[in-house]
Amino acid sequence: MADTRAPSAPAAKTPAHTAGTTTAKTVLLRRARELALVPALVLLLILGAIVNDSFLTERNLISILGASAALAMVVLAESLVLITGKFDLSLESVVGIAPAVGALLVLPVAQSGWGTEFPAVLAMLAILVVGGAIGAFNGILVVKFKLNAFIVTLAMLIVLRGLLVGATKGKTLFGMPDSFFSLATTTFLRIPMSVWLAAVAFGVAGLILKYHRVGRALYAIGGNADAARAAGIRVERIMLGVFIVAGVLASVGGIMQTGYVGAISANQGNNMIFTVFAAAVIGGISLDGGKGTMFGALTGVLLLGVVQNLLTLAQVPSFWIQAIYGGIILLALMIARVTTGRAQD
């Protein structure tokens, strides 16, 4: 007897199936955006080798890494804050004021210091304390008093910049102990310790973000702070901790910058925040919060380091380098809009 049943209609896709497919596609696009910087780095290295014979020499490559170490620490700090959905523009001023305070504490009056002549160990500890204290102050205003993070940290940037110029009387500080320069001058396998420290910091941060509950909490807060709070996450405490950690990381970046330059000027760190945002954004750190990886941020740092070195070797004026960084940020924002499909607030 023939089967007279009508052929069954294909199963309709459930909302859960559709949502899962969309989520998977978004994750793939985001991952592709981060990994896209790797071939871009390779292409730049090849271009650099063609343009200048000295570009791919060991000395120049180590120079790129050494010059990028301080930036990497500040980018790491800013990335952690951005993942929670906040901003900290004052980090560039921390790069200047924190090591300056340490130098003023250790230098005699004859060398423009405060005459306290602290031991070098205490001065280095003071640098970290200053960075953490600034981060804590920012965090209290943003987290406890619910003030706008952008405005608060912009005001703090201006305040700290004025304090730096006032404390140093506009002079460049020299003659600090060797400990102020050791991260940049001490090497392991011919690579500065500042580079190794930055690599370890990114590695630890990446592991925490991926595997530790605190890292997952950062993403949850950046995605939806109210939902994270309802899930039992201590949003205020974690966000305050992130601001403090960011301040400490920026102060370490200041020590690295001091060692690389060999002195502390009254404008150390000025305009650095633009490069920091450029590296973070092109590395896939979302300005909306809740998205981004340390691998992406690190490749952003390396890409800008290579670009700057290439332009410097080509004797391009510094103001053009800043303009190029601005163009890179705009391009990264447009790519983010396409890959995520979301409007940016």
Chain segment 289-305, per-residue pLDDT in tens: 998 999 999 999 999 99
Amino acid (1-letter code) at residue 342: R
For the chain, give the percent of residues with pLDDT over 90. 71
Average the pLDDT over 186-194 and give the result: 96
Instruction: Please report the sign of the dihedral spanned by the C-alpha atoms of residue 62, residue 65, residue 70, residue 71.
Output: positive
Number of Cβ within 10 Å of residue 33's Cβ equals: 19
- In 2-65, at which residue ranges do the beta strands (DSSP E only) sit? none
**Band of residue 9 on the pLDDT scale cut at 50, 70, 90:** very low
List b or e across 210-233, with b for residues whose CB sees 16 or more CB atoms inside 10 angstroms.
eeeeebebbbbbbbebeebeeeeb
Q: What is the DSSP letter of 191?
A: E
**Band of residue 18 on the pLDDT scale cut at 50, 70, 90:** very low
User: Of 102, 132, 108, 133, which is closest to residue 120 (Cα–Cα)?
Assistant: 102
Return d(Cα 115, Cα 222) in angstroms, integer.
45
The single residue listed with the structure tokens 């000027």 is 265
pLDDT for res 52 = 87
Asked whether the predicted pLDDT for residue 14 surpasses 70, the reply is: no
Asked whether the predicted pLDDT for residue 43 surpasses 50, the reply is: yes
For the chain, give the percent of residues with pLDDT over 70. 87
pLDDT for res 109 = 94
The pTM assigned to this predicted structure is 0.89
pLDDT for res 25 = 58
